[in-house]
Structure 1
């Protein structure tokens, strides 16, 4: 099963809703809802081209760091959710993305 489902269609790491970044950093500090979270690894494909050949592993990203202190799935900076969804429409910068799996503790 895919660990990171990405619906940010213009991210350089996204290929058919699968993330191929070496690592994904979900940010949000003391977020109260998912719109206060973001994927710190978003890179706009119009500036960075396609980056779906993960150099550290043979496939999709399964390394997930979460710095959202208020999420129930955050355990010592590791995400314990079975999988996450990263969303964002018409994204230009990483702060316009969000982790829709976020659940306030």
Structure 2
């Protein structure tokens, strides 16, 4: 995993469009489209505002766990993509269920 880009502007792990969580987890076991996936690591910055500052020292997120059995890039429980994209299904996500994996590709 080289980069996890994030367009969920109000996620506490997002710093300039790059994810700085220690690791993320993408869920949506029986997804057929990206809308049926989610980043369960999403945390609203209005509640968890300083998490990005805590993880920046260790670099950007390098591990994406994948629990989406229907995704082409699921390699067991890890995403096999070099670059992964997470996006919001609304202008501001309030819950992790309002996020999705934009890189999802159904088998």
The TM-score normalised by the length of structure 2 is 0.91
Structure 2 unmatched runs, 5+: none
Alignment RMSD: 1.5
Structure 1 unmatched runs, 5+: none
Aligned equivalents of 2:18, 2:3: Cα separation in 1:
9
- 1:46-92 CA-to-partner distances (Å, cap 9, x unmatched) read 1111311218x721110110000000000111111111110003200
- Which residue in 2 is equivalent to 1:9? 9
CA contact (8 A) 1:2 1:83 kept: yes
- Which residue in 1 is equivalent to 2:55? 54
Task: Give the 3-state SS of the residue equivalent to 1:54 in structure 2.
Answer: helix
The TM-score normalised by the length of structure 1 is 0.93
